[in-house]
Amino acid sequence: MDVIPFQRKNRSDVIFEKLQELIGDGQWKPGDRFPTEMELTRLFNVGRSTVREALNHLKTSNLIQVVPGRGTFVTEPLGVEHQILSRHIPDSATAQELFNIIEFRICIEPSTAYLAAERISHAQKKKILGIAGAVDNEDLSPSGFAETDIAFHIFLAEITGNPLCVETMNYLHTFFYKQQIVTSLIAARKKAAAQSHIAIAKAVAAHNPKLAEKEMRAHLCNTREYLESIVRETAFSGAAPREKESRL
């Protein structure tokens, strides 16, 4: 191959994308030995640190695997779902961050739904049902889904009329945005989450506090189980959460 020039600022990302493309096109097949770091520095005419970053990205995307004493090899192709999740949960720290967020939400949001069902006004019923319906939109992008989902939870806090509930949810927004993105990446999970929001909204609109609390708790516990399954699928078992507790 000739030296491959690159055209953008983030060199490691460009190299990663090119290598990913070459693997996808069959330049290297599963089981093939992958070029060494030195070979790639010559191929792309860049420094070793840049190539090292690209290789780390390939590893976390499960496209290559280092076999001690033998070298680096192209892995068997993974399903699309696995590849998507691996990119968004690249390490154990990210996984643990998601677990911390969902556990905190389980602590506070069922009670928020309970209060909202007790206090919702006639005018607020239409809005909460409307937001829940908007979540159930297959055309929403992951970021659009996340924003709509978060708007639903923030509005529930507003319905309670308790400023501390509102402030807490607004503060959490930036923290659980990443979690919502992950939730929306898989179509089947996205649909299930949307249906849960509709069930919560209906219980709140019907002034049924116990059902609203139950639906919210089930939704969040299901989300936690989903995140646990992602960690297992992406092989970051070191970040696995504490042993499952019984449903609260």
pLDDT, position 193: 87
Residue 238: pLDDT band by 50, 70, 90 thresholds?
very low
- 11-77 belongs to CATH 1.10.1060.10: no
Residues carrying CATH 1.20.120.530, the chain: 91-239
Q: What is the model's pLDDT at position 180?
A: 75
Domain with CATH 1.10.10.10 in the chain: 11-77
User: What's the pLDDT at 41?
Assistant: 93
- CATH 3.40.50.300 given to domain 91-239: no
Q: Report CA-CA distances (Å) from 45 to 33, 50, 55.
A: 21, 10, 15
Who has greater pLDDT, 235 or 25?
A: 25
Burial category of 181 from C-beta neighbours within 10 Å (exposed 0-12, middle 13-18, buried 19 and up): middle
Report the greatest alpha carbon distance in the chain. Answer: 70
Average pLDDT over residues 151-158: 94
- Please report the pLDDT score of residue 127 as a whole number: 96
Average pLDDT, the chain: 80
Instruction: Work out the pLDDT band at 94, boundaries 50, 70, 90.
Output: low
Which pLDDT tens digit goes with each residue over 60-80?
A: 767 888 887 788 988 866 554
Residue 131 and residue 151 in contact, taking contact as beta carbons nearer than 8 Å: yes
Query: What's the confidence (pLDDT) of residue 155?
Result: 96
Q: Is 31 exposed, middle or buried (0-12, 13-18, 19+ CB in 10 A)?
A: exposed
pLDDT digits (tens, 9 = 90+) for 211-225: 999 999 999 999 888
